Amino acid sequence: MATATKTRRPRKTTAEREQMQREALRRAAFGNSVHNEATAIAEFVARGIPESEVMPRVNVFTFNAWKAAGRYVRKGEHGVKLVTWFPKSDSNGQPILKDGKPIMMRTTATVFHISQTEKIGDTTPEPTPAPEPQPETVHQITTEPARIEYHPPQPTAPRGLLF
């Protein structure tokens, strides 16, 4: 029985990734759709971000748009999924028309608030835990008696025969 081998698509180059991120930022900042704004605001308010601080197209972007803006999404942050529509296009990038109107395709996009991001290159050190208290001297270790506590087992009710 032969197994089918999948061919991997080639990895994007750094220039291609940067171009994709710039395009994501451009679409996020200058797109003309507003039907997801109320959903994004409501979801971020439910997560504890004040409504006055949630401004789609100003401080709510996708992962790639934040990278293009010089920020990264912190590890473990969860974004808000939104449904977006885009015109289906052919291999030349031209929209495919049906009855004179473009065929629309549905996809989802995950957006993050600016409070879930940090600037790229921000080297603020993580706080270090306080050291555990240590005995003051070696003399204290060798002269104080060790405390050993013994707790004898408690008697239990006898168990019946198990079959």
Query: Does residue 106 fall inside a structural domain?
Result: yes
Number of structural domains the chain divides into: 1
Q: Which domain holds residue 98?
A: 14-119
Specify the pLDDT at position 133. 57
- Between CA 84 and CA 106 the distance in angstroms is 6
pTM over 0.75: no
Main-chain dihedrals φ then ψ at residue 43, nearest 5 degrees = -65, -40
Query: Does residue 148 fall inside a structural domain?
Result: no
Query: Does residue 64 fall inside a structural domain?
Result: yes
Query: Does residue 46 fall inside a structural domain?
Result: yes
Specify the pLDDT at position 141. 57
Specify the pLDDT at position 95. 86
Residue 146 neighbours by CB under 8 Å, 6+ apart: none
Specify the pLDDT at position 156. 66
Q: Can you give the pLDDT of all 163 residues of the chain as single tens digits?
A: 566 778 888 888 989 888 888 888 887 777 766 678 888 899 999 999 999 999 888 899 999 999 999 999 999 999 999 988 888 888 888 888 999 898 988 889 899 999 999 998 866 655 556 556 555 555 555 566 666 677 677 766 666 555 4
CA dihedral for 76, 37, 30, 54, sign (positive or negative)? negative
Query: Does residue 105 fall inside a structural domain?
Result: yes
- Between CA 35 and CA 148 the distance in angstroms is 68
Query: Does residue 156 fall inside a structural domain?
Result: no
Query: Does residue 66 fall inside a structural domain?
Result: yes
Specify the pLDDT at position 121. 82
Query: Does residue 71 fall inside a structural domain?
Result: yes
